[in-house]
Amino acid sequence: MPRGNDKEYSVQQMIIEKRLKKKNHFNFEKLIPGLLLLTAVLSVLTTIGIVFTLIFETFIFFDRVSIIEFLTNKKWYPFSATNASFGIMPLVVGTLKITGIAAIVAVPIGLATAIYLSEYASEKARRVIKPILEVLAGIPTIVYGFFALTFVTPILKQMIPSLETFNALSPGIVVGIMITPMVASLSEDAMSSVPRSIREGAFALGATKLETTIKVILPAAVSGITASVVLALSRAIGETMIVSVAGGSTPNASFDVTSSIQTMTAYIVQVSTGDAGYQTTIYYSIYAVGMTLFLFTLFMNLFAQFITRKFKEEY
Amino acid sequence: MSKLVDKEIVAKKMPSRIIRNQIFKGLFFLSTLFGLLVLGVLFYRIITQGIGYIDLDFFQNFASRRPENAGIKAAFIGTIWLMVVVAPVSLILGVGTAIYLEEYAKKNKFTSFIKLNISNLAGVPSIVFGLLGLTIFVRAMALERSVLAAGLTMSLLVLPVIIVASQEAIRSVPKELREASFAMGATKWQTVLKVVLPASIPGILTGGILALSRAIGETAPLIVIGIPMFVAFLPKTIMDTFTVLPMQIYNWTSRPQAEFQDLAAAGILVMLVLLIVMNSIAVFIRNHFQKRY
Give the count of beta carbons closer than 10 Å to the beta carbon of residue A167: 25
pLDDT tens digits, B103-123: 998 888 999 999 989 988 999
Q: What percent of chain A has pLDDT over 70?
A: 94
Domain that holds residue A58: 11-64
Q: State how far the Cα of A51 lies from the Cα of A68, in Å rounded to an integer.
A: 21
Same domain, yes or no: A60 and A143: no
Q: Average the pLDDT over B240-263 and give the result.
A: 91
| Domain end point (choices A64, A89, A105) | A64
pLDDT band at residue B23 under the 50/70/90 scheme? very high
Q: Tell me if A142 and B120 make a contact (CB, 8 A cut-off).
A: no
Q: In this structure, is residue A2 part of a structural domain?
A: no
Same domain, yes or no: A230 and A115: yes
Among A58, A122, A139, A174, pick the best mutation site for testing chain B contact (most B Cβ within 10 A). A139
Residues 239-298, chain A: which have Cβ within 8 Å of B?
239-241, 244-245, 265, 268-269, 272-273, 278, 286-287, 290, 293-294, 297-298
Q: Average the pLDDT over B200-228 and give the result.
A: 92
Total domain count for chain A? 2
CA B175, distance to chain mean position in Å, is 30
Same domain, yes or no: A59 and A108: no
Q: In this structure, is residue A315 part of a structural domain?
A: no
Closest Cα of chain A to B77: distance in Å?
18
Q: Tell me if B25 and A140 make a contact (CB, 8 A cut-off).
A: no
Whether A231 contacts chain B with CB within 8 A: yes
Same domain, yes or no: A180 and A218: yes
Q: State how far the Cα of B196 lies from the Cα of B183, in Å rounded to an integer.
A: 15
pLDDT tens digits, B153-200: 999 999 999 999 999 999 999 999 999 999 998 988 999 999 999 999
Residue from B270, B269, B227 nearest B247 by CA: B227
pLDDT of residue B161: 93
Q: Average the pLDDT over A119-135 and give the result.
A: 89
Q: Which residues of chain B does A50 touch, with a Cβ-Cβ cutoff of 8 Å?
A: 124, 128-129, 131-132
Cα separations in angstroms, B239 against B135, B138, B142, B212: 17, 11, 10, 21
Q: In this structure, is residue A48 part of a structural domain?
A: yes
Q: Tell me if B125 and A39 make a contact (CB, 8 A cut-off).
A: no
Question: What is the predicted ipTM?
Answer: 0.91
pLDDT of residue B229: 85
Q: Is the alpha carbon torsion for B164, B167, B169, B171 positive or negative? A: negative
Same domain, yes or no: A268 and A171: yes
Same domain, yes or no: A123 and A24: no
Same domain, yes or no: A31 and A91: no
pLDDT of residue A9: 64
Closest Cα of chain A to B194: distance in Å?
14
pLDDT band at residue B53 under the 50/70/90 scheme? confident
pLDDT of residue A314: 66
Q: Tell me if A37 and B104 make a contact (CB, 8 A cut-off).
A: yes
pLDDT at A4 over 60: no
Q: Where are the alpha helices (DSSP H) in B218-257?
A: 220-224, 245-253
Q: In this structure, is residue A168 part of a structural domain?
A: yes
Stated length of chain A: 315
Same domain, yes or no: A255 and A140: yes
